[in-house]
Amino acid sequence: MLEPSSWNVATPLGCWLVLEVAFAVLFYTYMVPKANQRTAPHPYRDYGSSQHLLLIRILDRIASTSHQTGRDSREALTDFLYDWFTPMNCTKASMPDAVKKKILPIARRSGHPPPLAPLQSSSMSSSASDTSSVGSGDEEDDCDNSIETWSIDGLQREDMNNFFAWAFFGKNVSEMESCEHVEMDECFRVIEERMGLVFLPGSGGCYQPRRLSLEDVYPIHRPLLVYVAILLLKLAASFLLWALGYRRVVAKESGLAGWYRPAQKGSDKLLPLLFFHGIAPGGLVLYLPMILCGLAIDGRAVFLFENRSISCELGFQAVTERETVTGVSEIVNKHLGTEQDLLCCGHSFGSCLLTWLLYDTEFRDRIRQFVLLDPVTILLSEPDVMANFLYSRRVSKIRMLASSELFTEYYLRRHFSWYNSELWLDELPSQTHVLLALAERDEIVNAPKVKELYDLYRQEYIADRVQLIYWPGAGHASCVTSPKKWEELRIRMLQQELSFSQQRT
């Protein structure tokens, strides 16, 4: 037990304890309240004010995957919606009979049955609004053109109003403008016409929607010592990178920072690697062994980009999608020119930044190879990633290391737009080849579901342009810590690059 004299504020321990107490007071009286201040929703990059077009894409995907797997599309849609809600004020006895009977028939309505949508390349500005049925040409006169309308036990119109207001407009219902109410009514019309789903008036009273950007942060306090340790790790990593020939680069316009190493002699014909890390204490620090001893060992030019917003660092900085894209473009163009083809690699949340680059009209034509490691960007409109990362309250390495950190939550809840960050496999540019790496038991990404989507699109659109690595029994970020997986990734990347390079010549 410490002697009373050891607690004297004049001692190093006493000074540090005073700092920790002051930091805790600052954390709860200033930092948490600031993180709970809402920000305006980001505008849609692709759909403008026609949010129902995005809903159509999601419904088509649900119908298509259900058709592929032989599952009832109504059951799939029901599960999709239920997973966006959490039970509220319900005992087991009083909850709706959702488990035994989720789908409630209402009536039969004249019209074509809801389409099992074919695989169609739904570019953002194309025919996503076409609600015609599959094969709606010449129907037989004696065929049954009626459709059974149905509802979901426990989810009613008021519940869905609250959910749609957040999901497609980033607002509470009371904050929506009249034109947004019209657009939300269009969403309900679309879901009824395409799927036959009708939401009964009122509220079921047992479910509350998950509404990421409208909710308060739910952080776990970390001592100041933790942030100091992360800073020291970053300083040590910076010295190591400098010693290995990397030089720090900063975009003047956006402030985006990273590290650059030119191609080594004999490796200048390999595609330059742009790497984007995921959510992790220290950002790039935990990824350096994988990069230095695996992905970049062949001597290719390398850019390692930092994202302080997801690095568990002190500060409310938040680099936007536009600032990220312009910053990457500025740095790459400065060192490689504007014509060089590129290899982009991202892990976990870093895959969202890759998606931003892919949807940039000036940058997408230069991306020849796309490496997605444990990607959260695919099926981002599904509830799995958000629920697994931010809503799980069980003690786990993910929660303790990343998801409960204040500044990470602040960024995800206040400055991240899910609707601008989802990668649709059918929209991959024809010149872009993808290496998709999934861990079967990923605690964040629903890897079996992503693999199912990959299998669905493989024959129709992506063919051999997308290759899959599927690691049985592996968990999230296992590729970051496994030298065996580093080597497998490096070899597969080189093989893929050699393959499309030969096709081009």
State in Å, rounded, how far the first CA of the chain is from the last one. Answer: 74
DSSP SS3 for 66: helix
Amino acid symbol at 270: L
**Domain termination residue (choose one: 212, 236, 261):** 212
Say yes or no: 396 and 484 in one domain. Answer: yes
Q: Give the helix/strand (H/E) hosting 367.
A: strand 367-373
The dihedral region occupied by 442, where left means phi > 0, alpha psi between -120 and 50, and beta the remainder, is beta
Tell me how far apart the alpha carbons of residues 171 and 131 are, in angstroms, rounded to a whole number.
27
The pLDDT value given to residue 10: 66
The pLDDT value given to residue 448: 95
* Domain presence at residue 21: no
Tell me how far apart the alpha carbons of residues 215 and 316 are, in angstroms, rounded to a whole number.
17
The pLDDT value given to residue 499: 86
The pLDDT value given to residue 14: 85
By residue range, what is the domain housing residue 153?
A: 52-118+146-212
Say yes or no: 304 and 326 in one domain. Answer: yes
The pLDDT value given to residue 4: 53
Inter-residue contact 349 to 415 (CB < 8 Å): no
Say yes or no: 239 and 104 in one domain. Answer: no
Say yes or no: 445 and 324 in one domain. Answer: yes
Say yes or no: 474 and 346 in one domain. Answer: yes
Tell me how far apart the alpha carbons of residues 258 and 61 are, in angstroms, rounded to a whole number.
37
Q: Would you say the C-alpha torsion 480, 485, 491, 493 has a positive or negative sign?
A: negative
Backbone angles phi, psi at 157, to 5 degrees: -60, -45
**Domain termination residue (choose one: 156, 178, 212):** 212
DSSP SS3 for 267: coil
Angle (CA) 95-99-100 rounded to 5° is: 105
Amino acid symbol at 350: G
DSSP SS3 for 292: helix
Say yes or no: 197 and 281 in one domain. Answer: no
Inter-residue contact 86 to 210 (CB < 8 Å): yes
Q: What is the CATH number of the domain that holds 381?
A: 3.40.50.1820
The pLDDT value given to residue 205: 83
Say yes or no: 171 and 239 in one domain. Answer: no
Q: Name the residue with tokens 């109410």.
A: 181
The pLDDT value given to residue 502: 72
Say yes or no: 234 and 201 in one domain. Answer: no
The pLDDT value given to residue 106: 58
* Domain presence at residue 4: no
* Domain presence at residue 351: yes
Going from the C-alpha of 488 to that of each of 59, 129, 403, 439, the distances in angstroms are 36, 42, 29, 14
HEC string of 13-65 equals HHHHHHHHHHHHHHHHHHHHHHHCCCCCCCCCCCCCCCCHHHHHHHHHHHHHH
* Domain presence at residue 337: yes
**Domain termination residue (choose one: 192, 212, 232):** 212
Say yes or no: 393 and 488 in one domain. Answer: yes
* Domain presence at residue 320: yes
Tell me the pLDDT of the chain (505 aa) as tens digits. 455 555 565 688 888 899 999 999 999 999 999 999 999 999 999 998 999 999 999 999 999 999 888 899 999 999 999 999 988 765 544 444 543 345 566 554 444 334 333 333 334 333 333 433 333 344 444 445 556 899 998 899 999 999 999 999 999 999 999 999 999 999 999 999 999 999 999 998 889 999 999 999 989 999 999 999 999 999 999 999 999 999 999 999 889 999 999 999 888 899 999 999 999 999 999 999 999 999 999 999 999 999 999 999 999 988 899 999 999 999 999 999 999 999 999 999 999 999 999 999 889 999 999 999 999 999 999 999 999 998 887 777 888 888 899 999 999 999 999 999 999 998 888 899 999 999 999 999 999 999 999 998 887 777 778 999 999 999 999 999 999 999 999 999 999 999 887 766 5
Tell me whether residue 376 is exposed, middle or buried, using C-beta atoms within 10 angstroms of its C-beta: 0 to 12, 13 to 18, 19 or more: buried
Say yes or no: 474 and 396 in one domain. Answer: yes
Which residues make beta-bridge pairs with 155?
Answer: 152
Say yes or no: 203 and 297 in one domain. Answer: no
Say yes or no: 64 and 203 in one domain. Answer: yes
Tell me how far apart the alpha carbons of residues 423 and 256 are, in angstroms, rounded to a whole number.
23
* Domain presence at residue 363: yes
* Domain presence at residue 378: yes
Encoding tokens for residue 186? 């269009």
Angle (CA) 81-87-90 rounded to 5° is: 140
* Domain presence at residue 43: no
DSSP summary character for residue 272:
P
- Predicted TM-score (pTM) of this structure: 0.88
The pLDDT value given to residue 146: 59
DSSP SS3 for 378: strand
Total domains in the chain come to: 2
Q: Give the helix/strand (H/E) hosting 350.
A: helix 350-358
